[in-house]
Every structure is written in C-alpha cells, then in structure tokens.
Structure 1
Amino acid sequence: MAAKGHVLIVGASGVIGTAAIDLFGRSQDWSVTGLSRRPPVVAPAAHHSHLPVDLGDPSGCLAALQQLSPVTHLVYAAVREKPGLVAGWRDADLIAENGRMFKNVLDALVARHPLQHVIVLQGTKAYGGHHHPVRIPAREDRPRDDHANFYWLHEDHAREQAGIHGFAVTIFRPQVLVGTAAGVAMNPVLAIGAYSALCHALGRPFAYPGAADALFEATDATLLARAFRWAFDMPAASGETFNITNGDVFVPAHSWQDLGAALGHPPTDATERRLVEFFARADAIAAWRKLAQAHGLRCDHLPTFLGESHHYVDLLFGPRLAARPVPMLVSTIKLRRAGFSDCLDSQQSLVSALATMADLKLLPPGPPPPPAAPA
C-alpha cells in the first residue's frame, strides 16, 4: 500500500509528539519522522526516524530538513517553557523565542517540501484565562483575546504561508494533556506516577497533594493524535480551530481514593502539601535512584525525569485554579459537529498512561493485583 504521505512531528519527545509518533508510526500508511533534541520513548512497533535538532538554530533546522524525503504533513508540537512554568507564560522574550522556533521549521519546509497540511497546537491560554476571567464554555468563534502569546505568532505565520503555498492549516486547543513522555514541562502523569512509586517505596500514604477541589477537563494525547489523523483526511478541517477534550470532567480530589486503589494504595485521609516540596526531599531523590536501579528504569535522576511537571500538578491541584468562581471549561461541539466524536474516560486515561510508562521502563511496575475473592 502506498503511503498517504510523510508526516514530520516536531517536538517528537514531548507529550503530544510521543503520542503522534506512536499512532502514525504503527500505521503502514505513513512515513514518519520525529524532530526533537531528544529521541521519543515509544514502543518498538512505532516505526519512525528521528533527527536531533535545536529548533532555535535556523541553520540547524534547514540542514536537518534538507536531509528528508518530501514532507507532506506537519504536526508542530514543540514548546519551550521556563522553570516553574507560570512566569514564562507572560515573558516577552520566551514568547518571541517560541515564535522563532516555529518560523525556523516552517520556512525551511515550504522552501523545499510539498506541504499539504499543517497542524498547530494551542491551548486554553488562547482564551486569556491566565490574565482574566473567561466566559464559559470557551468557544473557538470568539474574537482573539488581546494578549501576548506565541500562539498568535504561530497561527499568523502558518496562515500567511498557507495563503502563499496552498497547504491546509488546522489548529487544536486541548485541555490538560495526559501522556507518556518523561522529562517534559506539563505532563501530570509523571508527577503522579513518581509520587505513587515513592509512596510505596517510602511507606508513606498516597495522600492527596492539593488544597482544593479543582475541576478541569483533560485530553489524552492518544485521542489528540487520532484527531490529527482525522484532520489530515477531512477537507472540512482546513482553516479551522477546534477545542478538544476527552469528553468528561475530572475532579482529582474526588477521584483520588479510586486512583490510589488502582495503584495499590490503601485509603487515607492524609494530605500532602505540595509535590514540589515532596520531590525536593533527599529521601525521595535517593529512593527514586534505588527504584531506577532495581527496575532498570531509563532515568535515575528524579528532577530530570519530572521536568517541570510537578510544578504543573501543584498548579492544577492547588488553590489558584480552584479559587476561580467558574472552572475553565471549553465547548467541543464544533469538533463533534465536524465529524470527530471520539472520547475517553479521563480516570482510565490516567491509569492507562501510568501502565504504558511502566511498560516503557519510565516508571516502576505497579504492585500485583490483589488475589481474587473466593467463590
């Protein structure tokens, strides 16, 4: 069977990029290349080639892309964040840097490759929720929120080049992403998985690490990758912006006991103040190193494994988001009406991602299931 095309996934080692590599790499219909400084950690069945590139280096991007066979489809999922995350979301220099990274890739591609479709990732910060209250549910047809954001740099340059070169552009805005990539800025699975493993190792209760009943929506990165594949095959997706979520809502404090049970922890009423403080403890760092050695994990340095994801979980579970009078929820009706109606259960999504990370030797294996009750 002839391939549908050659898809280039930029930010291949991130939460979105890893899921896209896994989905497209398992299909005989696609030739797949990942672009990132680190190779993605995926199952052997996800066939792909990888090029290590610093996206901030325009000459390096151009040299790397000159090596490739003709690229027809692009998923741009790269982002550079600051330590601690939140301060960088308003940082003019970081916004400009992210804009240049995208331009370095796209300009090199359109000069030498027959692009047919470009997917650009945004997020709900597009609605300005980190600056001011937002009318809920957030909808894609609202006027662009007037604040500095690299999303607008990406979108404007993509649409400008599409007008010149004739390729399609689709923008996706996922909510909180759940995936299997390690060492990244915003993957709650990392922090929750490491916290669970360390609670087992240190004999500590799997205490809820939050101060409030925060409610949010999640998007499994595998679901998002399916939406990319759908958009590539759907002419009606061209030029459109879509919110995307799993299709349900998630209150971690209400689901914590169920999650703990799935991970082999007894119920507890204890609470943990902040994961950032927990992971900074000397005993936690040492215990992770021992776990990594005992189970042959890929990373034995806890801060490297976590990236900035523990800061992200503290933000999600902490009082800042819970204090909002109305949770940040988005409408996904536009995407459903366009024809993509896939959905996932967010609790099961999180458990599945943890299991996949254990299979990939990123997390220790979970405890064995309890014995079945006698008949």
Structure 2
Amino acid sequence: MSRTVIVTGASGLVGSAAVDSFLNAGWDVVAVSRRRPEIISQRPYTHLPVDLQDAQACRRAFGDMPEATHVFYAAVYEKPGLIAGWRDPEQMATNLSMIRNVIEPLAASGTLRHVSVLQGTKAYGVHLHPIRTPARERQPRDDHPNSYWFQEDYIREKAAQSGFGWTIFRPTIVLGPNVGVAMNTVPVIGVYAAVCRAEGKPFCYPGHISYPREAVDARLIGDAGVWAAEHPTSWNEHYNLTNGEVFSWHDLWPSLAEFLGVEAGPDQPVRLAEYLPSRATLWDEIVKQHGLRPLSMAQILGESHYSADARFGYGLKTPPAPAFVSTVKIKQAGFTQTYDTEACVKHWLGVLMERKIIPSSLAGA
C-alpha cells in the first residue's frame, strides 16, 4: 500500500521535524513550503513550493496527487507582532482558508485516508485566562474565537463527508532548530548569548519571573504524527503532547551558559523584542567574525523574540497561573515517547552551531 504524506509548513518548527520523522519511518514525503526545509534525514523527498493562501495554486498542486494518502498539516499564518494576532478575525479567516485550500482538492481525489492538525494550549484558553490543572482533552471546548475551532470544525465536517480520519495534537512550548519562525525560543537564546559576549556583558536571565512550564521537542511531535498516521485507533481524537516533565527557563540558565561558553550573571530583565533588534548591526559583525551564514538577526529571530519575552516572564510581577496539560491519554493509547528538556535545548543549540547560525564557541570570542 502506498504511504505518501504531504507535510505542509515543512520549513517550520514542527513541519521540518515531521518531514524527518516520516522519512525515518520509510514514508514517501511531499514537503510543502515556500522555502526549502532544512532536513536532517538523508533520504530523498519532494519539495513543493506552494503559497497556501493561493487557492488556484493549491488546486494545481494538489488536484492531481492520487498517491497522497495522508496529510500532516503544520502550516500557520501569524501576523507581525505575533501575540495580538491570536485574537485577530482576519488571521483566523486566513488560517481557515489555507487548510481548505489544501484539503479540498486532496479530498476530491478519494484517496485521502488521514489528516493530522496542530493546535496547542491556546485551545484551553491559556492566552486568555487560567486553565484547569492539568488541562485534559476531554474538557468542553473553551468558548472563545480561535483559528483552531474554525479549522477543527472544517476538518470534522469534511472528514465525515469524504471518509478520512483526523487526529489533532496540542503541543506545549515547542523546541527545535528552526530560524525565522514565530515561536522558537532556542535561536533567541543563542543569539542573545552571542550578543552578550560581544558586548562584554554576562549572560543574564532576561525575565522578571521564574515559573514552571512544560515543553515538547519537535522530534516528538513528528514521531507522534507518524504514530497517528499508522494507527487508525488514534484517529478522530485529540492528544496533548509534552516531553513528560516540567522545567523553568530560569533554572536552565546556568547550564545553558556553561554549554554556550558564556559567563552567567545575575538576573537582569531585558525586553528582548526591543534589545535584540537594536543590536542588528552588531550581529552582522558577529556573523563576519565567526564565519557564520549571512543571515540577518531578523531572518534568524522571525517573531520568536516576542514569544521569548512572554516565556521568560518579562514584565510580570507575579508568576502566571499554572498551564500544565495531561499526556495520560496519548500514553494510554500507545505513544510513550519522552525527552529531557534541558538536553533538548542543548541539542538544538548544538545543531544551530553545526549549521553555522550561531558561533560554535562563544568562550574566548
């Protein structure tokens, strides 16, 4: 039986990990993204550059692809500034039209068997109010406008009409090596460390508050996508995803400083969304000094410095409400993968060094 998966948003944080996971599992992969993804696997795959907001282009791309049996939908449209867009009706409408543009021509072929879709803890309203501890998939839908609900309602209806299954994943903070994306704290840490070292400053925790959270390695999400595609018993369900432990960025900081070869210092709140862009020229000098890829700071950070400020607790006077989710459901269903969060962050910082995106040795720079 043919096993061909279309991964949308393939150059993004989760999409590129999904491409790797499906390739490693022996699938044929069509990676859909305007930029060619940076993939770790050495197996060949097809790259299809398509603008998912262009319905006509999507019909041309996906209208004659009968070999495609599965979709891992990881594409997302985020407006500049990131956080304000989460409540923006136009952004919600755009995300709905994008998933429709992909699924409509594929469903018409009659060979589509399964679609995985990403949500997150915003499904529980974490960006609006305190959530239950832990948040569980069986809870009633949190009643607020959200791109997730528009996409989910569409997928449920289309699946019922066309006879394919669906699985919805709700990961927490995602960790990976991707640059130029909306919410990846790892490259923000690497760039911040390099800038601190270049200015002769200690690498200080830039937030006001230390508090516990959960994260998930992008590799785990990709592997969960393969598991769902290969196990029909997982279909038509929601699953939370985490590494399986709690952590705090503040507690990781000394270990990250040691790994990066920079001097740790006392906490010093810094608004990274303002501080880092103001050092764009300095970053260009760092790139030349260390022979890094010729990427500007903006090309590396994307919108991730905004989410980093929130994750580090910048501007907070008291810790935010707990935002923990249960992963009992997916473990009981048979997917039991876990990761050490500290090791994940270091692993991906190491990958950024190998890719010559951040300096490989900041000590003595």
Verify same fold: TM over 0.5. Answer: yes
Q: Distance in 2 between matches of 1:184 and 1:299?
A: 17
Q: Distance in 2 between matches of 1:64 and 1:322?
A: 50
Q: Distance in 1 between matches of 2:32 and 2:11?
A: 8
Q: From the superposition, tell whether residues 108 and 320 of structure 1 become closer, same or farther in structure 2 (CA, over 3 Å).
A: farther
Q: Is the 1:18–1:180 Cα contact (8 Å) retained in structure 2?
A: no
Deviations 1:331-369 (A, max 9, x none): 111111111111001111011011112222333323479
Match of 1:312 in 2: 307
The reply to whether residue 139 of structure 1 matches residue 170 of structure 2 is no
Match of 2:153 in 1: 156
Q: Secondary structure at the match of 1:60?
A: helix
Corresponding letter in the other structure for 1:200? R
Match of 1:184 in 2: 181
Q: 1:76 aligns with which of 70, 73, 76?
A: 73
Q: Is the 2:178–2:184 Cα contact (8 Å) retained in structure 1?
A: yes
Q: Distance in 2 between matches of 1:224 and 1:322?
A: 33
Q: 5 Å matches for 1:1-375? A: 5-27=3-25, 29-43=26-40, 45-66=42-63, 68=65, 70-112=67-109, 114-281=111-278, 284-319=279-314, 323=318, 326-367=321-362
Q: Distance in 1 between matches of 2:233 and 2:44?
A: 29
Q: Is the 1:178–1:187 Cα contact (8 Å) retained in structure 2?
A: yes
Corresponding letter in the other structure for 1:355? G
Q: From the superposition, tell whether residues 73 and 160 of structure 1 become closer, same or farther in structure 2 (CA, over 3 Å).
A: same
Percent identity at matched positions? 43
Corresponding letter in the other structure for 2:33? S
Which has the higher relative contact order, 1 or 2, with Cα contacts under 8 A spaced 6 or more apart?
Answer: 2
Corresponding letter in the other structure for 2:254? Q
Q: From the superposition, tell whether residues 272 and 299 of structure 1 become closer, same or farther in structure 2 (CA, over 3 Å).
A: farther
Corresponding letter in the other structure for 1:327? P
Q: From the superposition, tell whether residues 166 and 67 of structure 1 become closer, same or farther in structure 2 (CA, over 3 Å).
A: closer
Question: Tell me, which stretches of 5 or more residues in structure 1 are unaligned?
Answer: 370-375
Corresponding letter in the other structure for 2:296? H
Q: From the superposition, tell whether residues 232 and 124 of structure 1 become closer, same or farther in structure 2 (CA, over 3 Å).
A: same
Q: From the superposition, tell whether residues 106 and 78 of structure 1 become closer, same or farther in structure 2 (CA, over 3 Å).
A: same
Q: Is the 1:75–1:119 Cα contact (8 Å) retained in structure 2?
A: yes
Output the TM-score relative to the length of structure 2.
0.94
Q: Is the 1:205–1:270 Cα contact (8 Å) retained in structure 2?
A: no
Q: How well do the aligned residues superpose, as a CA RMSD in angstroms?
A: 2.0
Q: From the superposition, tell whether residues 84 and 356 of structure 1 become closer, same or farther in structure 2 (CA, over 3 Å).
A: same
Q: Is the 2:330–2:336 Cα contact (8 Å) retained in structure 1?
A: yes
Q: Is the 2:30–2:45 Cα contact (8 Å) retained in structure 1?
A: yes
Report how many aligned residue pairs link the two structures.
364
Output the TM-score relative to the length of structure 1.
0.92
* Deviation (angstroms), 1:155: 1.0
* Deviation (angstroms), 1:163: 1.1
Corresponding letter in the other structure for 1:363? I
Corresponding letter in the other structure for 1:195? Y
